[in-house]
Structure 1
Amino acid sequence: MKKTILCIFFLCAVNSISAQELTWHTDINKAIGISSQTNKPMLLFFTGSDWCGWCIKLQKEVFKKPEFAEWAENVVLVELDYPRKTKLEPALAQQNAQLQQIFKVSGYPTIWFVTPQKNGEQINLQQLGKTGYVGGGPSKWIEVANQFIAKK
């Protein structure tokens, strides 16, 4: 019995550690710089972290799983949050509102896959595709995401 409890505890700890290793950027300009340097597409996660049930479900069922953490090495993760209970810094709230308008996000969660394209002094975000919550766990969600990043 003790061994079973210990095994369960260990597996939960491994899941937790894997999820904590992910780096979610909130500054779009910093993320664009990293994406340009590494030649990786960006995953823009539009979320209502403290109120959106589907966003929380997506986090729990996909983003906090080891399979996703391993796959996420292929992209630059960007979280664009629209919380109701937590107040964002004004610059961050303004950035997120602008991106919400640019990408015409009307529901959460919305995930856009994009690549930065330099056009003189201006940087455009080329849209590869979008998705949201996909049932079936991390493998099904990753299968859908791979279709978009293959367009890069």
Structure 2
Amino acid sequence: MDRRPLAKFCLALLVCLTATTAVTAADKAAAKKVDWQPNLTAAHKQSLKTGKPILLVFGADWCFFCHKLERETLNEANMAKFINSNFIAVKLDLEKDEEAAKILKVKSLPATIVVNSDADMLANIVGYQKSESYAKNLRTALRMHQKLRQVSAEKTTTTK
């Protein structure tokens, strides 16, 4: 009995399964990343369009805890998914984005600031935090964001 057709079929099946696994692994890796916007202008436009608040994360190349925050907290799969679903994220460098840091009064790194599209401060998280406490602070910022939106909507309704 000639086994070559069976061997070819098994090899083709193995190639297909490997390719599918590679795509799935790539998709999973992409899902673990925060969708960082390139700059504040792009983030503001997207915030206006979606109604999501802006998450600003200040860091620096030399900052050990900035890298730790990104590696252990921000790149954690559930955290990245939570951030992508609820915020417009922008990563800023303290030295390159010095003016924004001055305006927002960033004094220590890492610093996470959450603002709405009207630049109302919703949260100011200073330092490294593990995922649980970081998420808790972000949820508090989201609640504040919702309250401000509700108040704004009520003002609009009563002035008409």
2:45 maps to 1:23: no
TM-score norm. by structure 1 comes to 0.71
Instruction: Give the corresponding residue for 1:107.
Output: 108
Instruction: Give the corresponding residue for 2:62.
Output: 51
Instruction: Give the corresponding residue for 2:135.
Output: 142
Aligned-residue CA RMSD in angstroms? 2.1
Structure ranking higher in strand proportion? 1
Instruction: Provide the secondary structure at the position in 1 that maps to 2:135.
Output: helix
Point out where structure 2 has 5 or more consecutive residues left out of the alignment. Answer: 1-21, 146-160
Instruction: Provide the secondary structure at the position in 1 that maps to 2:99.
Output: helix
Deviations 1:101-146 (A, max 9, x none): 10111111000010112xxxxxxx11112103454x3233101211
Structure-2 change in CA distance of 1:13 and 1:29 (3 Å): closer
Point out where structure 1 has 5 or more consecutive residues left out of the alignment. Answer: 1-9, 84-92, 118-124
How many residues of Structure 1 are paired with residues of Structure 2 in the alignment?
121
* CA contact 2:65–2:128 (8 Å) conserved in 1: no
Matches within 5 A, 1:58-137: 58-72=69-83, 73-82=85-94, 93=96, 96-117=97-118, 125-135=119-129, 137=130
**Percent identity among equivalent residues?**
23
Equivalent residue letter for 2:134: W
Structure-2 change in CA distance of 1:27 and 1:13 (3 Å): closer
Structure-2 change in CA distance of 1:52 and 1:29 (3 Å): same
Structure ranking higher in helix proportion? 2
* 4+ aligned runs moved over 2 Å, structure 1: 12-20, 132-135
